[in-house]
Amino acid sequence: MKKIGMLVAITREMQAVLARYGRAVSEETRCGVRVLRYDMDGYELIVAGSGAGEIAAAAACALLIDRYEVGLVVNFGVVGGLSEEMTRTKTCVVERVVHYDFDTSACDGTLPGQYCEYPDVYLPATRALVERAIALAPELKAVTCASGDKFVEGRERKSALREQFGADICEMEAAAVVLTCDRSGVPCLLIKTVADALADGAEDFGTAVRHSAERCLDVADKIIREL
């Protein structure tokens, strides 16, 4: 039976998982990560609640791969929109990520946001899975995600990220997931739904996050079942 890892960051996203799948077959906490196991039709689903941010997400992703030996990592979650197109509840599949607050350019000549083993600032998600997701859910838009350990609020800050990196959305875990999976040779799929649009802030995010998380999981669940 194939094993699929699902990484979720915040409480509202985990609540969406529990509402959809119910009580897990087993539950444990490892390295501070809440891990739920579900026996699904044809596969085993291992859900890891990482907590917010790149460090927490990288640790949880590595745990899924190394301890639970998953063959695929799916990350779903809510994000901020960086363009007029990225309105609330707009759901996307991430095709590439830039870790925008990573910067070693002063000592090694790379660009801000660039890891030295990559040719540019963008970390690619698994292309075959992006294409498969769009085939199964044509309403999805393939996007560039700006990922960093900051909640980005307001039009000015969001527009600056879009201008510098050509990003469509922003959040706090995708770079960790893509980098950890790529280095481990494990495919990844990232499905994201906008909770706060270009001109929105923290209050708008708080109002929309539950519905956006549920919408995001709806799409992610549909794709997982068809992979």
- The model's pLDDT over 46-82, given as tens digits with 9 standing for 90+, comes to 999 999 999 999 999 999 999 999 999 999 988 999 9
Tokens of 217: 């999981």
Read off the tokens for 206: 């708080």
Which residues is 45 bridged to in the sheet?
Answer: 4, 38
Nearest to 96 by CA among 211, 178, 205: 178
pLDDT in tens, 146-194: 999 988 888 888 989 999 999 999 999 999 999 999 999 999 999 998 8
By C-alpha distance, which of 198, 224, 184 is closest to 44? Answer: 224
Report pTM. Answer: 0.91
Distance from chain centroid for Cα 114? 19
**Which residues are bridge partners to 34 per DSSP?**
29, 49
